[in-house]
Amino acid sequence: DYAGQFFDGRTARAHAVQVTIDAGGVSVRDGAGTLLASWPADSVRIVPGHGRGGALHLREGDTGAARLVLDDAAAPMAVAHHCPNRNRSAGRLRDHWKPILFWGGGALASLAFLLLVGLPWLAGVAARAVPASAEVAWGADVADAIGAMMARRLAGDATPRYCETPSGRAALDRLTARLTAGADLPAPLTVRVLDVPAVNAFALPGGHILLFSQLIAQAETPAEVAGVLAHEIGHVEHRDPLTRVFEQAGLATLLGLLIGDVSGSTVIVAGSQLLLVTAYSRDAERAADAVAVDRLNRAGIDAGAMAGFFERLTAGGGDAAPALGLLSTHPPSAERAAALRAAATGRGAAMSEADWQALRAMCDG
């Protein structure tokens, strides 16, 4: 038996007690012999950070509120002999790996669900909440921002270089009208050709579409250009550009559009850079392909030409598809090419030879 002081955890009062330490554990009794506490041997813990002046501080379990203070020099030896878990700490990983693994796994699963399911769904909802006028204005700013970035990279100034000739514009407008006849688009289309030596095309928010001049130069037939344009129209129809920006840039972009800050530089730069370097999901690409095939079939244009264009770019390597190329933002696959060819019913030309030459010469004017 050892003399000690007992704090019951309910009051600050110290009780003078007699303590028994044996194989059964620690028993605490008051002066009248009344049992105040009985702690099993394997539940007795030394309280870390205490013990100044030689006193031994004990508690039951890792979080017990009651404390026992023993001043007897022999008490530590008795505790060491009978209490195997005396130095066990609640913070040790090996004591709690199962709950940590359980809750950590649950947190990772929740995060994965949010990123893969929740965020895309919320991005779609957010895109539909943006007023059409705000989306159109922002899309125009994003198009100019992309043009400025390309101009700085190629010519050292920030003036977007749009290709424009009367005959080329008329040819492009006639092709666009054929591909959008009867379409239910969220905004009127604005299709422009940007004078950039890269094989690429972008659908932007608000019905804006950019065709890079090198894409037209690399195309062997007008049906290949029509296929790419129809695919971008599919992205416009599903509002994929705005959804993609919301998935990547999140709430800040949405708030900027909803409050009318469509000219804010942060929102414009964020949107343009994201659209330049991020690819659509496979589902979004397949859905845009489906729209493209339907539009091309209705117009009587061969949809298989688009598949051939992608395959030729893939086989051509770096020269045919430079950095920021169509293959990086619209990665093709053999499955998609086969599906395009299988669904194609149109066999007619996309435009007259005169229109095709006028379109190819747009950047010469």
Mean pLDDT by 10 residues, the chain (365 residues): 90 91 93 93 84 79 88 88 82 56 62 48 57 77 84 78 94 96 88 90 90 93 95 90 69 50 49 59 86 94 88 62 52 76 88 96 84
* Tokens linked to 312: 């030729």
Q: What pLDDT shows up at residue 86?
A: 87
Residue type, 285: E
Dist CA 229 CA 7 (whole Å) = 80
Q: What pLDDT shows up at residue 142?
A: 83
Look up 232 and say whether it is catalytic: yes
Q: What pLDDT shows up at residue 100?
A: 60
- Are the C-beta atoms of 194 and 162 separated by less than 8 Å? yes
**Which of 60, 135, 224, 232 does the annotation list as catalytic?**
232
pTM: 0.60
Which CB contacts under 8 angstroms, 24+ apart, belong to 318-327? Answer: 320/199, 320/218, 321/199, 322/197, 322/198, 322/199, 322/214, 323/198, 324/198, 324/200, 324/276, 324/277, 325/198, 325/199, 325/200, 326/199, 326/200, 326/201, 326/215, 326/228
Distances (CA, A) of 229 to 176, 200, 209, 235: 8, 11, 8, 10
Q: What pLDDT shows up at residue 263?
A: 46
Q: How many CA atoms lie within 13 A of 286 on its CB side?
A: 9
Query: From the CB of residue 142, how many other CB atoms can be counted at a distance below 10 Å?
Result: 29
Q: What pLDDT shows up at residue 120?
A: 54
Q: What pLDDT shows up at residue 118?
A: 47
- Are the C-beta atoms of 15 and 5 separated by less than 8 Å? yes
Query: From the CB of residue 277, how many other CB atoms can be counted at a distance below 10 Å?
Result: 11
Q: What pLDDT shows up at residue 110?
A: 55
Q: What pLDDT shows up at residue 326?
A: 62
Q: What pLDDT shows up at residue 325?
A: 57
90 φ/ψ angles, rounded to the nearest 5 degrees: -65, -20
- Helix then strand count (H, E) for the chain reads 15, 11
- Are the C-beta atoms of 277 and 324 separated by less than 8 Å? yes
- Give the full edge-to-edge strand order of the sheet including 208-212: 162-163, 190-194, 208-212, 201-204
- Are the C-beta atoms of 105 and 62 separated by less than 8 Å? no
Q: What pLDDT shows up at residue 260?
A: 53
